[in-house]
Structure 1
Amino acid sequence: MNRLARFAGFGAGEHGRIDRDDAPGADVTADATMDAAQAGGDPESLREPIIAALRRVHDPEIPVNIYDLGLIYRIDIADNGDVDVDMTLTAPACPVAGMMPVMVKDAVKTVDGVGEVEVELVWDPPWSPDTMSDEAKLTLGML
């Protein structure tokens, strides 16, 4: 975790989970978790709970979750439950650039059955409003 994220209070709370008080802007709750046995043991069965957890992470400056903003480019789930996420930001100079990958990692870790989590910040292709869901566009008055 970088110093800015640690200073701002982002990161895993007790037992590797984020509590609302531990991560301002990351409204991740226990209902995003799912027992791996309940998920059927198939790594792909973790995809929907992971997406649900990501939908509880918001950029503090935009009232839409990062998944519907189109900031998540790739979610790879290994057979052992390890997860790799490629994400971007709305702009390279985004003020939460140091904190957002930590928020994403912590959110994905809340899903039962997930092992190690790696988050890579990528800039290609650059983010554009075209990557947003219709729901996000509607929320922001773009539809």
Structure 2
Amino acid sequence: MADEKDTPFSPIENKVMDALEEVIDPELGIDLVNLGLIYDVKVDDNGECTVTMTLTTMGCPLGDILNRDITKAVTSVEGVTKCNINLVWEPVWDLSRMSRFAKIALGIHG
């Protein structure tokens, strides 16, 4: 059985990821996708989307703001009827999950 992470995104899941690139972390000014906070996106046959993600820290005060912005972005995708956010703490987020773009934007070299 193949690992779920090896399964490529469907066209609608790719559109959800594109929409999530518009959701900016207010503290860092970088989108959630480039920060590496989005771990997975699944859209079922009924248009229900589940976004598996984490936050940079457990005590992140931005949970409600991000929840609203994520839901708005995801449900803006044609064919998506509902957004569920699956907030996880494992695997733990670290700087290695950030894209090269995010690292350069934040002045992180290496």
Counterpart position of 1:59: 25
Moved over 4 A (4+): none
Structure 1 residue runs without a partner (length 5+): 1-42
After TM superposition, list the pairs within 5 Å mapping 1:2-81 onto structure 2.
44-81=10-47
Instruction: Give 3-state SS (helix, strand or coil) of 1:98's partner.
Output: helix
Q: Which has the larger radius of gyration?
A: 1
Encode CA deviations 1:91-130: one digit per residue, 9 max, x unaligned: 0111202321222111100111112211111111111011
**Structure 1 match to 2:81:** 115
Of all paired residues, the percent bearing the same amino acid is: 37
Q: 1-side partners of 2:37 and 2:68: how far apart?
A: 14
Structure 2 unpaired stretches of 5+ = 1-8
Tell me by how many angstroms 1:61 deviates: 0.7
Give the match's secondary structure for 2:34.
Answer: coil
Q: Encode CA deviations 1:6-56: one digit per residue, 9 max, x unaligned.
A: xxxxxxxxxxxxxxxxxxxxxxxxxxxxxxxxxxxxx81112221111011
Q: Which has the higher strand share?
A: 2
Task: Select the structure that is richer in helix.
Answer: 2
> Do 1:101 and 1:121's aligned partners in 2 also have CA atoms closer than 8 Å?
no
Amino acid aligned to 1:89: L
Considering only aligned residues, what root-mean-square deviation do their CA atoms show, in Å? 1.4
User: Alignment length, in residue pairs?
Assistant: 101
